[in-house]
Amino acid sequence: MRARKPAIILTFLTAAALVGGIARAQDWHQGRGRLEGTITSAAGAPIAGATVALRYQGAGPDLKTDKKGHWAILGLVGGSWDADISAPGFQPRKISVSVSEINRNPPVNLALEPEAKQEAPSTETQVGGKTISKEAAAAIEKGNAASKAKNYAEAEENYLKALPELPDNPSLLSNLALNYYFDNKPDQALTFARRTVAADPQNTSAWLMISELELQKGNLDAGQEALAKVPAERITSPEPYLNLGILFYNKKKLAEADDAFTKAIAKKPDLAEAYYYRGLARYQAKRMTEARADLQKSIELDPSGKDADTARELLKTMK
């Protein structure tokens, strides 16, 4: 019990101090201090109707200047006061004033600067923080419209017009890569996908495209390297892993092929082709029980598929 008394006393004292602080703030007008001042423009002209908000511990009066820009108040408690001065058309000011209840307080004379004029909206077009010409901006808009309409050749033509002014812009480079990809121009797509990741190394879509295109070309190392740049959760299609597995299989890297086909199946559990190829890899690795299960699964998923007959013939040899 003794150990808890200081905490109780501390709580009581804290509450008492808080109540005392509130009481003093409410009694800001019970003192003998006097403040006055004049508010003018930077040119020296008096500002009538300016607001002088005086605050002592969060409480205090709001005063207005007269036609001569003058304000005054009596009965302030001594201490540090905050003053916020504002007037329409002028920049506000915030100051602190020390008020004495014994000595005469010097006048608070302030000059307000004119309110900053808002600049007219810019007519220039900026892309990625870079100002471009109207022609380049128009070309990008036309390219976007053509791409949306699946007019890929027209989109490519317009994007290329803007490229000299935005040679390192990731969005423009990515748009070119995508349009060339959908336009069945893999070499151009690969070129711009690589330019995209050079400008934006975190662009997972471009890395996926690079992986797919390199693997389609049979470039195992380049495709695998690009795929490693993509977080596993961002890969939603089984195709990258399927292509990777086929290349591993062709190079007789059976364990790596098995792992890639397993990842493809994880992305699409009903992909008969992935089961078929994993069955082949396991067959070559002499893992007959697992190979048989994969080949049977591929037939079950696609009984009349292109690999079904081959799978059936292999199963006969395994009996």
Tell whether 210 and 157 lie within a shared domain: yes
Locate 251 and state its tokens: 């190079």
Report pLDDT for 12.
33
For residue 46, being part of any structural domain is answered with yes
For residue 37, being part of any structural domain is answered with yes
Tell whether 103 and 141 lie within a shared domain: no
Report pLDDT for 294.
95
313 has pLDDT over 50: yes
Q: Which of 219, 249, 279 is the last residue of a domain?
A: 219
For residue 250, being part of any structural domain is answered with yes
Report pLDDT for 146.
94
Tell whether 209 and 288 lie within a shared domain: no
pLDDT single digits (tens) 67-121: 999 999 999 998 898 999 999 999 999 999 898 888 898 999 999 999 887 665 5
Tell whether 243 and 279 lie within a shared domain: yes
Mean pLDDT of 233-248: 90
Mean pLDDT of 3-16: 38
Return mean pLDDT, the chain.
Answer: 87
110 touches 94 (CB < 8 A): no
For residue 19, being part of any structural domain is answered with no
pLDDT single digits (tens) 12-55: 334 433 344 444 455 777 888 899 999 999 899 999 999 999 99
The DSSP annotation for 245-256 comes to HHHHHHTT-HHH
177 has pLDDT over 50: yes
Tell whether 36 and 99 lie within a shared domain: yes
86 touches 94 (CB < 8 A): no
Return the percentage of the chain with pLDDT > 90, whole number.
69
Report pLDDT for 11.
38
Beta strands per DSSP E along 100-153: 108-112, 125-127, 130-132
Find the CATH number of the domain harbouring 36. 2.60.40.1120
Tell whether 271 and 209 lie within a shared domain: no
Q: How far apart are CA 292 and CA 254, in angstroms?
A: 16
Tell whether 248 and 306 lie within a shared domain: yes
Find the CATH number of the domain harbouring 306. 1.25.40.10
Q: Which of 219, 248, 278 is the last residue of a domain?
A: 219
For residue 287, being part of any structural domain is answered with yes
For residue 162, being part of any structural domain is answered with yes
Neighbours of 200 (CB within 10 A): 17
Locate 310 and state its tokens: 């081959």
Report pLDDT for 123.
53
The number of angstroms, rounded, from the C-alpha of 312 to the middle of its chain's C-alpha atoms is 52
Q: How far apart are CA 203 and CA 306, in angstroms?
A: 36
Burial 259-290 (b: 16+ CB within 10 A, else e): bbbebbbebbeebbbbbbbbbbbbbeeebeee
Tell whether 211 and 288 lie within a shared domain: no
Identify which has the larger pLDDT, 53 or 125.
53
Residue 292 sits in which domain range?
236-319
Instruction: Give the total number of structural domains in the chain.
Output: 3
Q: How far apart are CA 289 and CA 9, in angstroms?
A: 78
108 touches 39 (CB < 8 A): no
Residues facing 93 on adjacent strands:
85
Q: At what angle do helices 204-216 and 186-199 cross, to 10 degrees?
A: 140
Residues facing 245 on adjacent strands:
none
198 has pLDDT over 60: yes
Tell whether 207 and 262 lie within a shared domain: no
128 — pLDDT class (breaks 50, 70, 90): low
Report pLDDT for 283.
94
24 touches 77 (CB < 8 A): yes
171 — pLDDT class (breaks 50, 70, 90): very high
For residue 215, being part of any structural domain is answered with yes
Report pLDDT for 170.
92
Tell whether 249 and 207 lie within a shared domain: no
Q: Which of 112, 144, 173 is the last residue of a domain?
A: 112
For residue 125, being part of any structural domain is answered with no
Tell whether 260 and 317 lie within a shared domain: yes
